[in-house]
Amino acid sequence: MAEKALKIIPLGGLGEFGMNSMAIQYGDDIIVVDAGMMFPDSELLGVDVVVPDFAYLKENKDLVRAVILTHGHEDHIGAVPFLLSGINVPVYGTAFTLALVERRLDEHDLTRSVQLNPIQPGQKLEIGPFVIDFINVTHSIVSCVALAITIPLGVIIHTGDFKVDATPTDNQLFDLHAFAEYGKRGVLLLMSDSTNVDRPGFTLSERAVRPKLEEIFNRARRRVVVCCFSSSVHRLQQVVDVARDSGRKVAFLGRSMMDVTEIAHGLGLLQIPNGILLRAQDIMEADPAKVVAVVSGTQGEPMSAMSRVAVDNHKHLWIENGDTVVLSARIIPGNEKPIYRMINHIARRGADLVYGSTNPPVHVSGHASAEELNLILNLVRPRYFMPIHGEYRQLALHARMAQHLSDWGLEGTFIMDSGDCLLIDEQGARKSGKIPVGRLCIDSGSIDEVVEDLIIRDRRHLAEDGFVIPIITINRSTGRAEGVPEIVSRGFVSFDEGSPLLAEARAVVTRTLDNSSAEERSDAGLIQEKVRIDLKRFINKQTQRRPLIMPVILEL
């Protein structure tokens, strides 16, 4: 690389939701902003989580200086253990963010080997040629920061996830002044969250949820169950405050809910009045009119606390007629089926349900809408702009939004895909090549259990067409088949005894054996392949399906 050249390399999070990770390289130094995961879609059978392929960073690990985290959502920190398993560098983030990361590292036995360094908004950190200013921003999780990164070429601003909340529940205001100050001095590149760019106006403040919670808590005749994201500490605080004011006690259910509330309370980010907490095992014994249960599992995850509560499968809580259940979270696209299935189970138990669009709202977004995004663009007035965090349609819309800044010094807007390299030097900015990027599919959260594409392809094949196993016994000394071939199938058409298809399939296998020489029959690998090809051709012709065919040769 030229001495005064900057490379911006998105490793994930562009053109998709989740897996947010960005490599920023200046000369021979790299810092990594965030390392997130995403949940798999329905095609990735048996996969628990998906993380970026950090091969580029591991190939250049001698250049990587640090990992900088903007906030503690899983789509920004969930892949940290997978990155640090191959690169031992310090990690910087707010105390709350690092506490969440530490839980993940502990699951992978990496806690002792990783250096976690807490920072505070307003603090500046120097790492090689990078001077990083942490700017306080508001979002749906506490302790979020944007990054202003100064290098000899100029200032880069990475907003992280944000919304401009003028009345945050913790009174930690969005630092618009810092953005404006950098805008006055001049910003080389702005990278800004695009998630809600297609929503007009401003995103409502988190405080907008409180009137609806008060209405529900005061109207409910019996138990209130609130299901929300465990990371939404602002929302949890409001639930606790309204419960206190309405004379109810609060119980927390779900592993992630218990972990986050414990961390947030320990750091002074969640204020819980004395005497208000109720043990989970006491929920059903307490006066129903005096109880609020706060439960994790908003997206209908099969083994989440709320999914188990919905079908009376939780040992501490079940829904009874007249209870009120509040789903205080958005329905993430793609999760509609499990969520509505969970809601239907709850409705069958006679509960009053509150979810979706209500007035006042029971949930507000944590991402900036169009007017807030426009505000940041107008304050910063960058020389170059790169929209981040969103699908292509949102990145493109955000790029169009920025075009009015061409009269104020905007020289270029870049819509990037993961793996594209944005090169900035004294000659200007331009796309410059592409690095190999991809994703790793993880089966059970273990670093060692990366699922290869071939395995996923086989799983999809089995799910769609099933499998057929012809079992053939061959006498090793004579090379002759012993008895009639057996054929077993699962997930395919019935191969019951007496089935015409079974008889014809056996005949195909027998014919293949008869047409093979003794030498071929004595080569198990060769005869397996011949049987597989002939049976595959026959089954496809008869049924227009392509089951996985796995011949088994038993030698006597």
Cα 285 from Cα 268, distance rounded (Å): 30
- Is position 28 annotated as part of the catalytic site? no
Centre a 10 Å sphere on the Cβ of residue 245 and count the other Cβ atoms it contains: 12
CA gap 67, 320 in Å, rounded: 48
Sign of the dihedral through C-alpha 352, 355, 356, 357 = positive
Taking the C-alpha atoms of residue 71 and residue 77, their distance in angstroms, rounded to an integer, is 8
Catalytic residue among 34, 75, 193, 534: 193
Name the token pair of 547.
Answer: 């089951």
Cα–Cα distance, 489 to 470 (Å, whole number): 9
Helical H segments across 16-94, by residue range: 55-59, 74-77, 80-84
Q: Is 133 left (phi over 0), alpha (psi -120 to 50) or beta?
A: beta
Rounded Cα gap, residues 549 and 556, in angstroms: 23
Type of residue numbered 160: G
Beta bridge partners of 148: 133, 157
Query: Within 13 Å and on the Cβ side, how many CA atoms surround 212?
Result: 20
Instruction: Write down the catalytic residue from 73, 139, 314, 367.
Output: 367
316 is catalytic: no
For residue 262, the surrounding DSSP H or E stretch is helix 255-266
Nearby residues of 354 by Cβ (< 8 Å), 6 or more positions away: 212, 216, 324, 325, 326, 327, 362
Q: Nearest CA to 442 among 111, 40, 16?
A: 40
Q: Bridge partners of 124?
A: 133
- C-alpha to C-alpha distance for 534 and 505, rounded to whole angstroms: 10
Instruction: Examine residue 360 and say whether the peptide bond preceding it is cis (omega within 30 degrees of 0).
Output: yes
Residue 252 · residue 261 · CB < 8 Å: yes
**Length reported for the chain:** 556
Phi/psi at 226 (nearest 5 deg)? -110, 120
- Helix axes 255-266 and 95-107, enclosed angle (nearest 10): 140
| H or E element that contains 341 | helix 336-348
Residue 116 in tokens: 């976690």
Query: Mind telling me the catalytic residues?
Result: 193, 367
